[in-house]
Amino acid sequence: MTQQLDRVREQALRQEIVQVCRMMHEKNLIAATDGNVSARWTDEYLITTPAGVVKGLVEPDDLVVTDNYGQVAPEEVAPHNGYRPSAELRLHLEAYRQRPDIRAVVHAHPPITTALTVAGVSLAPCVLPETLVTIGTIVTTEYATPTSAQGPVVIRELIRDHDALVLDRHGAVTVGRSPMDAYSKMEKVENTALVLTTAHSLGHVKTLPPEEVRRLSVMRARLLGRPFPGPDCARCGACKGLAEPVSADIEIGD
């Protein structure tokens, strides 16, 4: 079995996960041992950050290989050097179960994003065109005790149609084609939170006009390479929403 494993791919993923952890620490998206990153290595195994390790100092050999149920892989597959996966891996496993298209999951504790949940402010309104095109609607889950069995439950339905979720009082989770892709979405989430917080402090938040939301939704569908139903108006409520479903055939120009 071990001879059939792609060791070159394994080392590349380990390096990329470590790079993402360093960037999260440098960008103040995590503190100390907070947060976790995982990636699909094969159909059978995941590579993930270990529990109790400061992510800004994590090394490639510190990472843990598990199966799709969170069990540590046999030593002949990958040595775990005494480390164990975080209990937050439950969130990742649920995301992989619901989204066979994704290859990586990032969970971080971006402070502004988290603060908005404490204040009861949603990131769902369509305010930034780049956010709508690259991420879609950023919705907030119900509260779940960190590391508990309730964590996967509150993301189960939402993660099917969203690439970024805000966890009430517990940061955010993003998914993507690679660890770096998922990380870039996390940066976008926190940047959106910063802009929204600043706008609120200035006294007024303007949402994008429905016509522009429609055009941006078409752009997102083209970026995804599949239909995009438009923003999650039912979970937002910031405006009247789109009057009719978005069509991918709308002409948006160059």
Please give the domain boundaries of the chain with CATH numbers for all domains: 2-197+206-236 (3.40.225.10)
Q: Cα 38 vs. chain centroid, distance in angstroms?
A: 11
- What is the rounded distance in angstroms from the CA atom of residue 149 to the CA atom of residue 131? 30
**Per-residue b/e over 177-194, b at no fewer than 16 CB within 10 Å?**
ebbbbbbbbbbbbbbbbe
Q: Cα 218 vs. chain centroid, distance in angstroms?
A: 22
Positive or negative, the Cα torsion across 153, 157, 160, 162? negative
- What is the rounded distance in angstroms from the CA atom of residue 223 to the CA atom of residue 241? 22
Measured from the Cβ of residue 84, the count of other Cβ atoms closer than 10 Å reads 14
- What is the rounded distance in angstroms from the CA atom of residue 208 to the CA atom of residue 89? 36
Residues in the chain: 254
Measured from the Cβ of residue 101, the count of other Cβ atoms closer than 10 Å reads 11
pLDDT in tens, the chain (254 residues): 444 899 999 999 999 999 999 999 999 999 999 999 999 999 999 999 999 999 999 999 999 999 999 999 999 999 988 899 999 999 999 999 999 999 999 999 999 999 999 999 999 999 999 999 999 999 999 999 999 999 999 999 999 999 999 999 999 999 999 999 999 999 999 999 999 999 999 998 999 999 999 999 999 999 999 888 889 988 888 887 665 555 545 454 43
Q: Which amino acid would we find at residue 190? A: E
Structure tokens at 76: 């002949």
Q: Which amino acid would we find at residue 253? A: G
The β-bridge relationship of strands 139-140 and 164-166 is parallel
107 backbone dihedrals φ, ψ, rounded to 5°: -120, 125
Strand ranges inside 68-217, DSSP E: 104-108, 139-140, 164-166, 172-176
